[in-house]
């Protein structure tokens, strides 16, 4: 399976695009994110923009968190963008994987909700991944039990 994943053309394209984005300044990276957002809203097809979107997220994660997505995380992210539910084991990087489809959908103007199993993980994941989303010009909020309507 690993050799099959590595041979996927879109995966190679993401990595090539990420290398190009790595040379961008922070402002250029954010501008590229905004350009992608405008283009995705015009095309109304997020799938056509996944390579650039995933490469932008990869670049932001590397800069902000010194974290790099693994091939299987890209595969999981693409599967979620294709409308599938993805199951991953503990330690396989679900939180980082979720940045891929969440960011691309948000850049495409879709409302995005990332759901997790408890309030601790909600707060931790929002805090941990906030720099990645914000680097791309996105905002992050979270909802936990006990918040009143105004806080939500």
The pLDDT-based confidence of 49 (bands split at 50, 70, 90) is confident
Neighbour-count burial of 134, counting CB atoms closer than 10 A to its CB (0-12 exposed, 13-18 middle, 19+ buried): middle
- Contact between residue 140 and residue 130 where contact means Cβ atoms under 8 Å apart: yes
Q: Assess whether pLDDT exceeds 60 at residue 151.
A: yes
Question: For 93-124, how does the pLDDT look when each residue is reduced to its tens digit (9 = 90+)?
Answer: 999 999 999 999 898 888 899 988 899 999 99
Task: Tell whether the model's pLDDT for residue 45 goes beyond 70.
Answer: no
- Cβ contact 29:23 at 8 Å: no
Residue 61 has pLDDT above 60, yes or no: yes
* 97, 76 Cβ separation under 8 angstroms: yes
Predicted pLDDT at 117: 86
> Mean pLDDT across the stretch 35-60?
83
């Amino acid at each position: 399976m690993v050799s099959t994943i590595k041979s996927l053309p879109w995966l190679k394209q993401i990595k090539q695009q990420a290398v190009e984005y790595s040379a961008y300044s922070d402002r250029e990276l954010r501008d590229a994110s905004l350009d992608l957002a405008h283009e995705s809203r015009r095309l109304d097809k997020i799938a056509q923009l996944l390579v650039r979107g995933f490469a932008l997220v990869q670049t932001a994660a590397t800069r902000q968190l010194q974290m790099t997505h693994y091939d299987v995380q890209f595969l999981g992210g693409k599967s979620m963008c294709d409308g599938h539910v993805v199951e991953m084991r503990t330690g396989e990087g679900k939180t980082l994987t979720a940045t891929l489809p969440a960011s691309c959908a948000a850049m495409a103007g879709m409302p995005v909700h990332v759901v997790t199993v408890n309030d601790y993980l909600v707060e931790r994941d929002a805090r941990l991944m906030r720099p990645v989303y914000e680097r791309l010009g996105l905002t992050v909020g979270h909802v936990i039990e006990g918040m009143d309507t105004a806080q939500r």
